[in-house]
Structure 1
Amino acid sequence: MSRVFLTYADAVHTYFSWRVEGSAEVRTARISPERNAALRDSFARSFPDAVPGETQEEALRRTFHDGAFRSPQDTWTYLSQLSQLLLPPELLRNFHPARRRQLLIRPSPGLAQVPWALLPTGRKDRMLGDVADVSLYAPDSVVALAPEPRPGAQPAGELMVIDPKIPGQPPTGPLGSVLGRPTPTDPLAALLRPTTVPEAVTYPELARTTLGREEFLSLSARARSLLFVGHVSAAGVESASAESSTLHLAEPVSAGDLLRAGWQAPARVGLLGCGSGSDLRYPEPFGLATTAVACGADTVVASLWTLPTEAALDTLDAGVQPLRELILATDRALRAEDPVRSLLDWQLAKARAWYAEGRAADNPAWWAAPAVWRLDRQG
């Protein structure tokens, strides 16, 4: 499958260029400063990240009741406006359902939260993910650090770090449980398999464990995949670097800590926490997702913004738990032959359900949040 590379860069204008693999032709376009400013303002109004002066609870109320995710029509209108600014017709002509290509995107800091695969392509029933296998690709500085694949037999274990306990934090506190008390009948019991690490017979044995940094590093080195679900503290917006983005295990472990510790990341990594994939919002993009790539992962699924817990909804449709659906979809992607396509197909199905029925549990705040990062050595 041929590839198209799409790159954005912020200056006074935002400039972008694209090229088709195998062609010497590079096409370019730009976004004016006025439209650039309007874009950034729209992200602050639409996504569930708290802005200065706003609590997280206020940010979630804004997301569900005032912004682009208030209703299906608001979502379609907003994403259509983004598409018109960011995806010129000349670019879209490279894609067609019968000639689907890989689209590898390197956003600028100002565009790092765009849910690219969900942008409409001009036809009411067609999104970019329908005509392209959309993923992000890591900066050259990150790719240069990535080790070559390890020779010999590959690890078989699937490391699950699910809602780990943080010492000193009550279950209902700010760094308490994101999934609530585990029960044997939880839908996430589907994560229990013979290859699951650490070994567990029931879901309560797997979830809410206390895992320290050294054990995490040791288990990672022996696993083919990692699925982390828990608290992530993204770097502050005033920072020039995402290096301080932090996984909360038994102790905080930052992206910089992992890099300096020589983390042997599994080949496939899922990091489901608030802003776990916000690396490219910073001029120095060594956050958690890019660190995973630099430390050996070839595929990383991470969230572009704050992930609401299921408690953010006053009521849920019977049997529908959006965060758990996202976790299970990420797990399937990490195990799939084609992880990008697996996650995209799920997101597109959720998008169509939202546009058709508008149920609260199908809100894009959950399913539009994850993006897939790929290691590309030829890009």
Structure 2
Amino acid sequence: MVNRPAVPDGSEVLTGLEADTRPVARLTYVDADELYLSWVWDHAPAHPRMVVLPRAHIAPGLDQLRAALPSPLPSETGLQALERALGGGDFTDPAREQRLATALTSCVIPQRLGLELNALEACGLRPHLRIQPSPSIAQLPWELLGTSGTDRLIDMVDVSTLLPASLRNGTGRAVSAWDPRGAVVTALDPAVPGFAATSELGSVLGPVEPGSPLAEMVAALGDRARPGGKSFRRNDFGRDRLAAELAGASRFLYVGHVTASTHALDSRMHLSDGAGTTGHAEPVNGHRPFTAADVVLGHGSAKPLRAPNRVALVACESGGDLRFAEPTGLVAAFTHRGAEYVTATRWTLPTEAGLRRYVPGLGDRAEGVLAEAILAVNAAHESTDPVAALSAWQRAQAHRWIETGDPRCTPLIWAAFHTAWSPPPPEVDLRWR
């Protein structure tokens, strides 16, 4: 009799898992001619898994995803991309979005991993998947992947972005301390010199009225909020002011513009800096952008920025680092300079004005959609576990979207956000090296 190895049924993931221990897996995707995936559970480090995902199988789904997103395709302007995605793309219709989610799931979740997740769910366990995507799948919204029926991956797991080990565990990286009572630096829709409020780098929030949810969010911070005084559309919040305000702070919340470039280090935040400010980017219309290189390397006589423990970048493609072969954009920059949690976006984030203009039948009901997302991100970064808190909001939004089809709950907003979690590097006992 020939003894054949047992076919994995997913239950092997339970081996070695101690009671009251949350399962955590690290998934790493690598681009080559095909897409390679390896994953390992923290409780079973000696038993990594690996599969090859044929490019011919995954390419159609990824093409369909790109066509559904509001990020410009080649030869497309930003406005054309918004009109395409918001005016009738797959993320504006629950049935078509469900089909896309199902197709994407088959692209990137192999059967064995799916069986392991099922086995954990059957035991009442909610694992944490730390995912390092390859450039070809960097914009994939893991939270909305389908499992069975209308259930989504976000119903089974919490997801965070895993940055490369060379960054997370880099020599000299020191994670800033977290103090739940610490200062919160806010740069909320800063005015960009040389750009009117209705222009390309103009206001993303529009007028924020006293007593509105966003105004109340800032008011609730009390004396923790920095800088004091005016909260929105400040014209004096540049890179030097940012560095000064971040000293000793616990959090940074940015709502504004981020633009991509030809390489990740040139990813740009747009603060209130004039052309006379020093920096690595060339001025644009009387304004010098603040780049990832400025964060990591400093600029002029300024030292590299010191990041707080938690950073939130609510802006278009602020988390686009992983689309580059060398992921050295703003998420990586703030992580390198001390952040443990960085929440950012995978694609162009529509403003309420864009939703109002392009989503059929939405009209004035678009008011508050972006504000709700900002409030959710802020609340997540106030919590003890930003990854779980953001996942809970995304899960609630997904259920509303599936049950009602309300365009206010389109995945184009809630599924854009992801959080990179990079805890302090493990200590190494040098005596044994």
Same fold (TM over 0.5): yes
Q: Which runs of 5+ in 1 are unaligned?
A: none
Distance 2:144 2:187 in 1: 28
Distance 1:56 1:22 in 2: 45
Match of 2:208 in 1: 182
Picking from 246, 252, 256, the partner of 2:293 is 256
Picking from 354, 362, 386, the partner of 1:312 is 354
Match of 1:173 in 2: 199
C-alpha change, 1:151 and 1:71, in structure 2 (3 Å) is: closer
C-alpha change, 1:303 and 1:319, in structure 2 (3 Å) is: closer
Match of 1:333 in 2: 380
1:292 aligns with 2:334: yes
Q: Deviations over 1:280-332 (max 9, x none)?
A: 00011100011111110000100000000001123446585211111000000
Which runs of structure 2 are paired with 1:155-304 in the superposition (5 Å)? Answer: 156-189=182-215, 190-192=217-219, 193-194=221-222, 195-200=224-229, 205-210=230-235, 211-235=237-261, 239=262, 241-251=263-273, 252-261=289-298, 262-304=304-346
C-alpha contact 1:157 1:223 (8 A) present in aligned 2? yes
1:137 aligns with 2:179: no
C-alpha contact 1:265 1:296 (8 A) present in aligned 2? yes
Partner secondary structure for residue 384 of structure 2: coil
Q: Which amino acid aligns with 1:249?
A: L
Partner secondary structure for residue 305 of structure 1: coil
1:12 aligns with 2:33: yes
TM-score (norm 1): 0.92
User: How far does residue 42 in structure 1 lie from its aligned partner after superposition?
Assistant: 2.1
Distance 1:146 1:138 in 2: 16
Q: Which amino acid aligns with 2:380?
A: A
C-alpha change, 1:311 and 1:152, in structure 2 (3 Å) is: closer
TM-score (norm 2): 0.81
Which structure is higher in strand share? Answer: 1
1:375 aligns with 2:422: yes
Q: Deviations over 1:248-305 (max 9, x none)?
A: 0013100011100221111001001110001000011100011111110000100000
C-alpha change, 1:316 and 1:350, in structure 2 (3 Å) is: farther
C-alpha contact 2:313 2:343 (8 A) present in aligned 1? yes
Distance 1:145 1:120 in 2: 39
Match of 1:26 in 2: 48
User: How far does residue 152 in structure 1 lie from its aligned partner after superposition?
Assistant: 10
C-alpha change, 1:329 and 1:151, in structure 2 (3 Å) is: closer
Question: Computing the radius of gyration over CA atoms, which structure comes out larger, 1 or 2?
Answer: 2
Q: Which amino acid aligns with 2:404?
A: E
Distance 1:145 1:273 in 2: 30
Q: Deviations over 1:87-131 (max 9, x none)?
A: 12311233344111211100000010111122112x224222222
User: How far does residue 141 in structure 1 lie from its aligned partner after superposition?
Assistant: 2.3
Match of 1:82 in 2: 104
Q: Which amino acid aligns with 1:256?
A: A
C-alpha change, 1:244 and 1:155, in structure 2 (3 Å) is: farther
C-alpha change, 1:152 and 1:42, in structure 2 (3 Å) is: closer
Distance 1:343 1:303 in 2: 13
C-alpha change, 1:145 and 1:129, in structure 2 (3 Å) is: farther
Distance 2:380 2:47 in 1: 34
Partner secondary structure for residue 117 of structure 1: helix
Q: Which amino acid aligns with 1:76?
A: Q
Percent identity reads: 34
Partner secondary structure for residue 265 of structure 2: coil
How many residues matched?
370
Distance 1:49 1:335 in 2: 30
Partner secondary structure for residue 79 of structure 1: helix
C-alpha change, 1:19 and 1:151, in structure 2 (3 Å) is: closer
C-alpha contact 2:185 2:249 (8 A) present in aligned 1? yes
C-alpha contact 2:176 2:307 (8 A) present in aligned 1? no
Distance 1:125 1:72 in 2: 10
- My pick for the range that moved more, 365-374 or 95-104, is 95-104
Q: Which amino acid aligns with 2:353?
A: A
Distance 2:397 2:342 in 1: 21
